[in-house]
Amino acid sequence: MSEFAPSNSSARVENRSRPRRALITGGAGFIGSHLAESIIASGGSIVAIDDLSTGDRSNASHLPADRFRLIKATVAEGLAALGDDERFDEIYHLAAGVGVDLVLERPTEVIEGSLRNASAVLDAARRWRCPVLLASSSEVYGKSERVPFREEDDVVYGPTTMTRWSYAYAKGMDEFVALNHHQRHGTRAVIARFFNTVGPRQSGEWGMVLPRFVSAALRGEPLRVFGDGRQQRCFCDVRDVARILPVLLRRPESAGGVYNVGGDRLISVRELAQRVCAVLGSVSRIELVPYERAYAPGFEDVAVRQPDLTRLRTATGFEPTISLDQTIRDLASWMRQSGAAPQAGGPVARAAGGGN
């Protein structure tokens, strides 16, 4: 992997003989680094923009320097460094604040940054005349009680006085901007609503549930679940997600569409904690923690979060191939090798939303 500071780059002439060239914002992050790895494995090359606020150089350190370049910068700085003469075959906008903890601690930063970055990337895609995939979130559905969530369903949010809903509002606005770009300017924008993507290189620093649980289990410490643990979620391995995103974006018919991306097998948070202990042979106990101890009073959780994957399956034939047990084992292996396991005895594990 090579890295360079923002600077004006020279023009590149489109050449059909060259490998497919992709731009990934958040390219040193959890999903971004796996996506870069997948595209490179299929013969492509990557330019990544990442300010490393939640990403990490080590996530992409194994990628070949002649196929992967990292611009350490904000999205706006990175796009300016590339300049209008740059050419890409596709853009993946994955840079975003992630995790319930981060949203609650820095709501203004997350909201303003989300819309600003999405607008900048869409403007770049319009100039460069290339398709762009915007990462959205299952949070967009809010607290809708219609299950499974379908892309055209109405959404239900809590009041603006509750910071917990700020991320949902922000991602919803990103989607509006992207769809408007498609309708007004012909920008080939595709929206992917991620549902709890998990796997190696995922940090529990900002409250992601599976790495928190795996870290605690490896240390023999309690796996903390708040509420009664009956909240149900669906998890999908990041490597399955990474391989399907290019397939989705490269379909001309996908432009202007919204797609749920993830797994659709439900598991309760308490069952997830039990599963982690069983797979890893951990003697850790499960500790139930009241919501009011985990978050501010009045925090609202979503009882069931399950995607309807009909649209994605019809478009791409997508089916997850990596089991949850394998994901748990691989995440644990990565934590052991990298020393990335967070201090499980610290803040309460945020197991409510758990991911995306």
- Region of residue 352 (left: phi > 0; alpha: psi -120 to 50; beta: else): alpha
How many Å apart are CA 345 and CA 215, to the nearest integer? 10
Which residues are paired to 233 by β-bridges? 267
259 is catalytic: no
Q: Report CA dihedral (65, 69, 70, 75) to the nearest 10 degrees.
A: -170
CA distance 190 to 187: 9
Q: CB of 67 within 8 A of CB of 42?
A: no
User: Distance between CA atoms of 114 and 170, rounded to whole angstroms?
Assistant: 7
Ramachandran region, residue 16 (left: φ > 0; alpha: ψ -120 to 50; beta: rest):
alpha
Q: Which of 167, 169, 259, 295 is catalytic?
A: 167
**Per-residue DSSP letters for 254-283?**
GTT-EEEEE---EEEHHHHHHHHHHHHT--
Give the full edge-to-edge strand order of the sheet including 2-4.
Answer: 2-4, 68-72, 45-50, 21-25, 90-93, 132-137, 189-195, 258-262
Q: DSSP of 70-134, one letter per residue?
A: EEES-HHHHHHHH-TT---SEEEE-----SHHHHHH-HHHHHHHHHHHHHHHHHHHHHHT--EEE
Residue type, 348: V
As annotated, the active-site residues are 167
